[in-house]
Amino acid sequence: MNKRNLGFTTIAILLFVVILMFYFNGTKQLYGNDKESIVKVINSIEGYGNKSIEILEIKDFNDLRVVAFLSNNSPGYIQFNKNKDSNYKWNHIEVMDNETFSSFIPDLPMFMFVTNNENEIAKMQVTINGEKLEQEFTPNEATVNWMDLPQTDKNEYTFQNYKYYDKDGNLIEENE
């Protein structure tokens, strides 16, 4: 084998090794298929990389996955959609920093409440589209609660008269 062929063979082998290294070590898509991968997805999102994540609940609704979590003890949720390969790809994340009690409306006709262990709210009342609804919570415990929203023809909701009560039934806060 002459020097020219040896040079081409060496370059071809090196190029092949580089391609293999890029293929096996390249950035891989992260999916929310299980608890561990969900934490990795959250930590991969800009602004959430250095935060402690505690998964409170994973709930599936057909091809939609909603995950309630605490980010540095602040309530939040991340939403995933199942793709054609049955992997869950994230499409929305929301965290309410420095709160103990937060409500969210994922892509569902439901209210989701996420609390941390500093929450003192034991009951909430709200009027939605003219219907008075009530939800109870466990104070001083990280929890996730769900409330169905009233049915509507327009898929629009009006929220009024929020009232929050402590474990003794005392009014903590009221918002008209």
What are residue 94's DSSP bridge partners? 77
Picking from 13-22, 34-43, 141-150, which range would have the lowest pLDDT averaged per residue? 13-22
The DSSP H or E segment spanning 13 is helix 3-25
Residues 6+ apart with CB under 8 A from 23: none
Position 8, amino acid:
F
Tell me which amino acid residue 74 is.
S
pTM: 0.81
Mean of the pLDDT values across residues 96-106? 96
User: Nearest Cα to 124, choosing from 101, 140, 141?
Assistant: 101
Q: Is the pLDDT of residue 25 over 50?
A: no
Nearest to 72 by CA among 93, 51, 46, 88: 51
Q: What average pLDDT does the structure give for the chain?
A: 88
pLDDT above 90 as % of the chain:
74
Give the gyration radius of the chain's Cα atoms. 24
- Beta-bridged to residue 76, according to DSSP, are 69, 95
Q: Which two tokens stand for residue 96?
A: 């309410």
User: What's the rounded mean pLDDT across residues 111-125?
Assistant: 97
- Cα 31 from Cα 130, distance rounded (Å): 40
Report the share of the chain in percent with pLDDT over 70: 84
Tens-place pLDDT, residues 35-53: 999 999 999 999 998 899 9
H-state helical runs in 45-110:
none
The pLDDT value given to residue 18: 47
DSSP assignment letter at 62: T
